[in-house]
Amino acid sequence: MAHRTPIESGCPDNRPFLHPKLAKNYGNWKYHDRPRPGVLHHVAWDGDEVWTVRAGTQRQMDVYTIRKLCDIADTYADGHVRFTIRSNIEFMVGDPNKVAPLINALTESGFPVGGTGNSVSMIAHTQGWLHCDIPGTDASGAVKALMDDLYTEFIREEMPNRVHMSTSCCEINCGGQADIAIIMQHTKPPKINHDLVANVCERPAVVARCPVAAIRPALVNGKPSLEVDEKKCICCGACYPPCPPMQINDPEHSKLAIWVGGKNSNARGKPTFMKMVASGIPNNPPRWPEVSAIVKKILYTYKEDARPWERLSDWVERIGWPRFFEKCDLPFTKYLIDDWRGSRANLNASAHIRF
């Protein structure tokens, strides 16, 4: 068999796959609007029009669901689809008469049409058990439980501004800034299986990984292993991916936390980092009711109280953090105080790319 050279050129060029009207008018649009929630309408300078219908998906899809979506694209749209960063699927059509049958076909197949404008868009969720080896919870399950409750907020545009949510099934990797984020929170240092460390882990790599220098090489029962200074350990879990014998996931002590007020955009105000507002919430599958209750309380308080076009962070800034905790019935504890001063100098708070 001929040797196949890997292609190291990044993601493929999307232009061959664009809807013909999008390809023709690339970068040449006169205006766009939203005729209804879930539908975007673009008008080009030469009069071409394109309607984009957005629907929510469960992100981790079996082959039958993907085939169903492809059949809908072939039958009711022009065969062109794309996925958004929040796992919504978008179908493009060049004929206004195709919009309503497409929406009906999607709705009847169980894919809600919405997620545009001032709605609660699909929760950007991390990969969990399916692709990753370190999750402490099932991010997809928590998302499913919450979006079942927020269905009407997805198909309507009734929030003060757009609401982006995210989940993270560990403390250190995927996820990202969001108006409301659900994040794994370990509360106990890792438990080390000393019999396995020498065979499985590169000890210098693990020692270097710890952000607070809490790990030291050690000899345990005559074997090379590691030890953790538990007074220093901040329970971040960064040692667990390179060294699985440093197990940090725990059915009782791995909890969930809720953070609010992050955003990536530069619109109306600079990007903001989110802050933790609730911690120690039970990691309670299959429906995570405690998490859903707190998220919904924050979301609906924001919906009631914010002025038009205030993002969640703008609303909290205006009313002040003490009022936020009061209004959302959340206890303020010392664990919520961000006392890491290094962040002021070390974290990049700009959405601009620098080289």
- Is residue 262 close enough to count as binding ligand SF4 by CB under 6 A? no
CB 102 within 8 A of CB 94: no
Residue 350: count of CB within 10 angstroms of its CB: 9
**C-beta of 134 vs 319, nearer to ligand SF4:** 134
Measured from the CB of residue 138, what is the shortest distance to ligand SF4 in angstroms?
A: 10
Is the peptide bond prior to 286 cis by the omega test (within 30 degrees of 0)? yes
* 135 binding ligand SF4? (CB under 6 A): yes
Task: Please identify which residue in the block is written with the tokens 């240092």.
Answer: 189
- Which of the stretches 157-165, 232-240, 329-337, 343-351 binds ligand SF4 when contact is defined by CB under 6 A? 232-240
Cα–Cα distances in angstroms (integers) from residue 76 to residues 20, 80, 86, 195, in the given order: 16, 10, 23, 59
Least gap, CB of 134 to ligand SF4 (angstroms): 5
Kindly indicate which of the ranges 40-48, 61-69, 196-204, 208-216 contains the residues binding ligand SF4, using the contact rule CB under 6 A: 208-216
- Told to check if 235 binds ligand SF4 by CB under 6 A, we report yes
Q: Please, what is the minimum distance in Å from the beta carbon of residue 64 to ligand SF4? A: 24
CA dist., res. 106 & res. 120, Å (int): 19
- Least CB distance to ligand SF4 at residue 103 (A): 32
243 is a site residue for ligand SF4 (CB under 6 A): no
As measured in angstroms, the least distance from the Cβ of 101 to ligand SF4 is 37
* Beta carbons of 313 and 179 less than 8 angstroms apart: yes
Our CB check for ligand SF4 shows the closer of 201 and 210 to be: 210
Question: What residue type is 206 in one-letter code?
Answer: V
Helix (H) or strand (E) holding 92: strand 88-93
Window contacting ligand SF4 (CB under 6 A); options: 16-24, 99-107, 210-218, 328-336:
210-218
Query: Using the rule CB under 6 A, is 236 a contact of ligand SF4?
Result: yes
Per rule CB under 6 A, is residue 130 in the interface with ligand SF4?
no
- Sign of the alpha-carbon torsion through 55, 162, 83, 183: negative
DSSP 191: E
Choosing from 147, 181, 210, 277, the residue that interacts with ligand SF4 (CB under 6 A) is 210
Give yes or no for residue 238 binding ligand SF4 (CB under 6 A). yes
Contact 96, 55 (CB under 8 A): no
Task: Please spell the DSSP secondary structure of 336-355, one letter per residue.
Answer: G----TTHHHHS---SS---
Q: Which positions touch ligand SF4 (CB under 6 A)?
A: 126-128, 132, 134-135, 168-170, 173-175, 189-190, 209-210, 212, 214-215, 228, 233-239, 248
